[in-house]
Amino acid sequence: MKKATIKDVAALAGVSVSAVSYVLNQSTEKKYSEKTRQKIYSAAEKLGYHPNHIARGMRSQRSYSIGIVNWWEINNRVFIKTLEGITAMGEKLGYSVVICPSADSYSYLSYYENKRIDGAVLIAPVTSMAEFNEMEHIRRLQKAKIPFAVINGHTDLPQGNCFRYDFAQTTYLATDYLLAKGHREIIYIAPKYGEEIREVGLRQKGYMTRMQEEGLPCLCRAVEDLTPQMLKQFHSIVTNKTDTAKKVMDMALTAGIKIPEDLSIIAANTEYYSEYLPVPLTTVQIPFQSIGKMAMRRVISAIEHHDLSSEEMPACMVLEQNSVKNLSSEGNKEGKGMRIYS
Amino acid sequence: MKKATIKDVAALAGVSVSAVSYVLNQSTEKKYSEKTRQKIYSAAEKLGYHPNHIARGMRSQRSYSIGIVNWWEINNRVFIKTLEGITAMGEKLGYSVVICPSADSYSYLSYYENKRIDGAVLIAPVTSMAEFNEMEHIRRLQKAKIPFAVINGHTDLPQGNCFRYDFAQTTYLATDYLLAKGHREIIYIAPKYGEEIREVGLRQKGYMTRMQEEGLPCLCRAVEDLTPQMLKQFHSIVTNKTDTAKKVMDMALTAGIKIPEDLSIIAANTEYYSEYLPVPLTTVQIPFQSIGKMAMRRVISAIEHHDLSSEEMPACMVLEQNSVKNLSSEGNKEGKGMRIYS
DNA sequence: CTGTTAGCGCTTTCAC
DNA sequence: GTGAAAGCGCTAACAG
């Protein structure tokens, strides 16, 4: 009981295979007579005909699939969100995405070459990991002549196929949010990572930029150096990430400091658990999906050699919870929940 | 600059295409002479030859891919873990997994039929959702003659292609764990869902079974009915899930009840945020990966018409954190962290 | 041992 | 308007 082929449809409809192929594909142009078309449609319907994409790809030398080069844990929130965007855009443009299950360094390449992917999206890790040699990945993709785009890459690509999470914007926005809520003495807290990590530098910079715009002094502290004494003197904090905020929060609550009454905290990224911390944490969300979409569209437009209309990248958003006190006289009419800010 | 084909390799090696095909595929049998084999290997190497899986599938009438029929949010922990298992087993057996991006009811079927998937794994939702008509999905898969396995299904399939998360075991184990830690008066707390949800009934049953084995009285309460007064009288609680435990925990902490000093809590499932609750929550983990693996192996063995050796399903595990007090005299030498229990 | 060849299902000239 | 036929890359008889 094999699946119906184009041949079966042709036979049943009493026409040639080429007629079937033409009619079933060209939805707009109607070279064939209405009568023939109808015969074909009903025959296909009757047989439960499904075009074989494998055969189509074989013929067109295209697989209509895009491979993901990925160094993230599969359940990482950033990865998932980015992937959601990639997949959505792929669906829209008629491409499917495939992910190599194998974890070791470059084995995905064979996997993808075997599968004849039409292109790839490389999602680089945020922190430059020793094991992840971005340049080498790029070199190999180029050598394999696979069109690709890079998300969050550290390398500048000539074709502009590089899309980055805007880390500076996250802290800029977090700071801006606190300012809007009437806070003035805002402290930035992050771990003592090395400065060589792009993300770390950008996050701090975003905070400083916004503070300087306002003519306010910047104060940056490492979370490792924090003491309860210090915390008691702080009232408004921006942290780089949720885990830093959690450390601050734990120390504050232990010291009897109330959040948000005595201390407001906002983190410049969102984690699965941000809203489940002792005090639900207000955070900044990066539009990962959009970045995924943009990268996907770029790759596909490279494959198809024509520009696809590009949507503008939306800004980061503040996901409001309960960790920030409103000091502004205007009051905070809105309830907690996600909303676009700025 | 096209990709090298088997023909190119044959030409360069000065042999026929069939020789190349044979040598490159049958790693064990060596019908061809060593000299020929070497020529072929080096030619393939030189050309950077990658077998075209599309063409291979075309010929063999197999795609070596399995489709996922899924009703979960893509970032749901249960789904991800199950998928990890499915993917791992697929890789082991030479199959890739494909996920239809489209969300609407049955559109995945066309997608998969087009892609000529060899089989499918249906991951049913835990709670029987009105929108998810399991029988209908099964019927359609059968009609399309796609071999499949069901995970967490409510329907009993004749071929035994049904794999279920063992919800009863989760609470049985949670209860057992508290008993081992010296607790005796153990309360079970869950929300007031309807009893028609299989998971809910099983979870309660697991608790009761273990208590009855011990000859201890059961006490079940709905989280909605809980009051701080009641909580003060409880010292050991099993909850169905982490979110229930969170509610209990919040109420307890607000009422000045200390965890785990005054009150021990264990939840019968793990969430991303379990360990980030005000008191890191001890939970029971279901081996989702293993269930995914088993289902995947089953489908593939159905496709290939031969039984694949099956691994035994591992039991649930307790992921120890800080929400349970050890009352047993033996002491608790082990630190917090995951360990197999019972 | 090794080579020739017939398709797998589809698209796409090209001829009628 | 319509059909015949070549061929995408590969595998598997079958022939030598």
Q: Can you tell me which residue has its alpha carbon closest to the C1' of nucleotide D3?
A: A16
Lowest mean pLDDT among A26-40, B100-114, B159-173: A26-40
Any idea of the CA torsion for B315, B318, B319, B322, to the nearest 10 degrees? 180
Please name the nucleotide lying closest to B5, CA to C1'. D9
The β-bridge relationship of strands B264-267 and B282-285 is: parallel
**What b/e readout covers B159-179, taking b as 16+ CB neighbours within 10 angstroms?**
eebbbbbbbbbbbbbbbbbbb
> What is the structure's pLDDT at B342?
38
Please name the nucleotide lying closest to A59, CA to C1'. D8
Q: Which two tokens stand for residue A91?
A: 């669906």
What percent of chain A shows pLDDT beyond 90? Answer: 62
> What is the structure's pLDDT at B334?
46
Q: CB neighbours of A93 closer than 8 A, spacing ≥ 6?
A: A296, A297, A300, A308
Nearest residue of A to residue B246, measured between CA atoms? A276
Reported confidence tier of residue B31, pLDDT bands at 50, 70, 90:
confident
Footprint of strand C on the protein (CB under 7 A): A 2-3, 5-7, 17-18, 21-22, 24-25, 49, 51-52, 55-56, 58-60; B 14-19, 31-33, 35-36, 55, 58-59, 61
Amino acid identity of residue A320, one-letter, is: E
Burial class of residue A201 in the structure, from the number of CB atoms within 10 Å of its CB (0-12 exposed, 13-18 middle, 19+ buried): middle
Asked whether the domain spanning A167-281+321-341 has the same topology as the one spanning A59-164+287-314, the reply is yes
> What is the structure's pLDDT at B111?
93
State yes or no: pLDDT of A115 exceeds 60: yes
DSSP bridge pairs for A337: A320
Q: Which residues of B touch A51 (CB under 8 A)?
A: 114
Q: Cβ(B155)–Cβ(B135) under 8 Å? A: yes
Give me the residue spans of the domains in chain A.
6-51, 59-164+287-314, 167-281+321-341
Q: Cβ(B178)–Cβ(B236) under 8 Å? A: yes
- Measured CA to CA, the distance from residue B169 to residue B203 in angstroms comes to 8
Cα–Cα distances (Å) from A1 to A45, A54, B38, B175, B224, in that order, read 17, 19, 42, 52, 55
Q: Where are the alpha helices (DSSP H) in chain A?
A: 6-13, 17-25, 34-47, 53-60, 77-93, 108-115, 134-143, 167-180, 198-213, 228-233, 242-254, 288-304
User: Which one is predicted more confidently, B34 or B308?
Assistant: B34
Span B184-217, pLDDT tens digits = 999 999 998 765 677 888 999 999 999 999 999 9
Instruction: Give me the CA A60–C1' D8 separation in Å, rounded.
Output: 7
State yes or no: pLDDT of A167 exceeds 80: yes
Any idea of the CA torsion for A102, A105, A110, A112, to the nearest 10 degrees? 70
Span A85-112, pLDDT tens digits = 999 999 999 999 999 987 678 889 999 9
Q: Which of B146, B93, B127 is nearest to B294 (CA)?
A: B93
Q: Which residues of A touch B113 (CB under 8 A)?
A: 3, 50
Instruction: Give me the CA B204–C1' D10 separation in Å, rounded.
Output: 56
Instruction: Give me the CA B28–C1' C1 separation in Å, rounded.
Output: 16
Average pLDDT over residues A320-324: 96
Task: State the smallest CA–CA distance between residue B159 and chain A in angstroms.
Answer: 20
Q: Cβ(B148)–Cβ(B119) under 8 Å? A: yes
Whether the CB of B31 is less than 7 Å away from nucleic strand D comes out as: no
Lowest mean pLDDT among A14-23, A221-230, B111-120: A14-23
Task: State the smallest CA–CA distance between residue B209 and chain A in angstroms.
Answer: 32
State yes or no: pLDDT of B146 exceeds 70: yes
Instruction: Give me the CA A17–C1' D14 separation in Å, rounded.
Output: 30
Q: Which of A87, A90, A113 sits opposite B50 (nearest CB)?
A: A113
Whether omega before A260 lies within 30 degrees of 0, making that bond cis, reads: yes
For residue A72, count other CB atoms closer than 10 A to its CB: 17
> What is the structure's pLDDT at B1?
60
- Measured CA to CA, the distance from residue A169 to residue B69 in angstroms comes to 38
- Measured CA to CA, the distance from residue B30 to residue B51 in angstroms comes to 19
Q: Which two tokens stand for residue B135?
A: 């029988």
Span B49-74, pLDDT tens digits = 999 999 998 998 999 999 999 888 88
In this structure, CATH architecture of domain A59-164+287-314:
3-Layer(aba) Sandwich (3.40)
Task: State the smallest CA–CA distance between residue B253 and chain A in angstroms.
Answer: 10
Q: Which residues of A touch B1 (CB under 8 A)?
A: 145
User: Which one is predicted more confidently, A267 or B1?
Assistant: A267
Lowest mean pLDDT among A68-77, A326-335, B177-186: A326-335
SS3 annotation, B98-147: EECCCCCCCCHHHHHHHHCCCEEEEECCCCCCCCCCHHHHHHHHHHCCCC
State yes or no: pLDDT of B302 exceeds 80: yes
Instruction: Give me the CA B110–C1' D16 separation in Å, rounded.
Output: 46
pTM, rounded to two decimals: 0.89
Q: Which two tokens stand for residue B206?
A: 């697991």
Task: State the smallest CA–CA distance between residue B69 and chain A in angstroms.
Answer: 16
Strand D, nucleotides covered by protein (CB < 7 Å): 1-5, 7-14
Mean per-residue pLDDT over chain A, rounded: 88
> What is the structure's pLDDT at B37?
87
In this structure, CATH architecture of domain A6-51:
Orthogonal Bundle (1.10)
Q: Which of A88, A145, A276 sits opposite B273 (nearest CB)?
A: A276
Span B216-268, pLDDT tens digits = 999 999 999 999 999 999 999 999 999 999 999 999 999 999 999 999 999 99
Amino acid identity of residue B281, one-letter, is: L
Q: Which of A83, A116, A273 sits opposite B54 (nearest CB)?
A: A116
Instruction: Give me the CA A68–C1' D8 separation in Å, rounded.
Output: 26
- Measured CA to CA, the distance from residue B189 to residue B217 in angstroms comes to 14
Reported confidence tier of residue A134, pLDDT bands at 50, 70, 90:
confident
Reported confidence tier of residue B125, pLDDT bands at 50, 70, 90:
confident
- Measured CA to CA, the distance from residue B146 to residue B140 in angstroms comes to 9
Instruction: Give me the CA A313–C1' C11 separation in Å, rounded.
Output: 38
Whether the CB of A114 is less than 7 Å away from nucleic strand D comes out as: no
Q: Which of B250, B254, B230, B253 is nearest to B242 (CA)?
A: B250
Contact A101 B88 (CB under 8 A): yes
Span A236-276, pLDDT tens digits = 999 999 999 999 999 999 999 999 999 999 999 999 999 99
State yes or no: pLDDT of B183 exceeds 80: yes
Contact A50 B113 (CB under 8 A): yes
Q: Which two tokens stand for residue B278?
A: 């005000």
Instruction: Give me the CA A114–C1' D11 separation in Å, rounded.
Output: 16
Mean per-residue pLDDT over chain B, rounded: 88
Contact B90 A74 (CB under 8 A): no
State yes or no: pLDDT of B26 exceeds 80: no
Q: Cβ(B307)–Cβ(B285) under 8 Å? A: no
Q: Cβ(B1)–Cβ(A145) under 8 Å? A: yes
Residues from A contacting B (CB-CB < 8 Å) are 1, 3, 50-55, 57-58, 61, 63, 74-75, 77, 80-81, 83-84, 87-88, 90-91, 96-98, 101-102, 110, 113-116, 145, 246, 272-273, 276-278
- Measured CA to CA, the distance from residue B66 to residue B298 in angstroms comes to 12
Q: Is B92 left (phi over 0), alpha (psi -120 to 50) or beta?
A: alpha
Q: Which residues of A touch B3 (CB under 8 A)?
A: 113, 116
Average pLDDT over residues A47-66: 91
Reported confidence tier of residue B333, pLDDT bands at 50, 70, 90:
very low
Q: Which residues of A touch B102 (CB under 8 A)?
A: 91
User: Which one is predicted more confidently, B177 or B157?
Assistant: B177
The single-letter DSSP state of residue A93 is H
> What is the structure's pLDDT at A126?
78
Span A137-166, pLDDT tens digits = 999 999 999 999 999 888 777 766 889 899
Q: Cβ(B51)–Cβ(B40) under 8 Å? A: no
> What is the CB-side half-sphere exposure of residue A110 using CA atoms within 13 A?
11
For residue B225, count other CB atoms closer than 10 A to its CB: 9
> What is the structure's pLDDT at A264?
97
- Measured CA to CA, the distance from residue B281 to residue B323 in angstroms comes to 5
Give the DSSP H or E segment for B283.
strand B282-285
Determine the distance from the C-alpha atom of residue A268 to the mean position of all C-alpha atoms in its chain, rounded to a whole number: 16
**What b/e readout covers A80-115, taking b as 16+ CB neighbours within 10 angstroms?**
bbbbbbbbbbbbebebbbbbbbeeeeeebbebbbeb
Reported confidence tier of residue A31, pLDDT bands at 50, 70, 90:
confident
Reported confidence tier of residue B335, pLDDT bands at 50, 70, 90:
very low
Residue in the structure block whose two tokens are 């009840």 = B257
The β-bridge relationship of strands B317-320 and B282-285 is: antiparallel
**What b/e readout covers B3-36, taking b as 16+ CB neighbours within 10 angstroms?**
ebbbebbbbbbebeeebbbbbbeeeeeeebeeeb
Instruction: Give me the CA B13–C1' C3 separation in Å, rounded.
Output: 14
- Measured CA to CA, the distance from residue A247 to residue A127 in angstroms comes to 20
State yes or no: pLDDT of A333 exceeds 70: no
Residue in the structure block whose two tokens are 């694949």 = B308
Contact A55 B53 (CB under 8 A): no
Cα–Cα distances (Å) from A109 to A80, A154, B62, B187, B318, in that order, read 21, 21, 22, 54, 38
Q: Which residues of B touch A277 (CB under 8 A)?
A: 276
Reported confidence tier of residue B27, pLDDT bands at 50, 70, 90:
low
- Measured CA to CA, the distance from residue B320 to residue A33 in angstroms comes to 71
Whether the CB of A33 is less than 7 Å away from nucleic strand D comes out as: yes
Residues from B contacting A (CB-CB < 8 Å) are 1-3, 50-55, 57-58, 63, 74-75, 77, 80-81, 83-84, 87-88, 90-91, 96-98, 101-102, 110, 113-116, 145, 246, 272-273, 276-278
Average pLDDT over residues A209-226: 95
Q: Cβ(A296)–Cβ(A149) under 8 Å? A: yes
> What is the structure's pLDDT at A132?
79
Reported confidence tier of residue A196, pLDDT bands at 50, 70, 90:
low
Q: Which residues of A touch B50 (CB under 8 A)?
A: 110, 113-114
- Measured CA to CA, the distance from residue A88 to residue A92 in angstroms comes to 6
Please name the nucleotide lying closest to B52, CA to C1'. D9
In this structure, CATH architecture of domain B167-281+321-341:
3-Layer(aba) Sandwich (3.40)
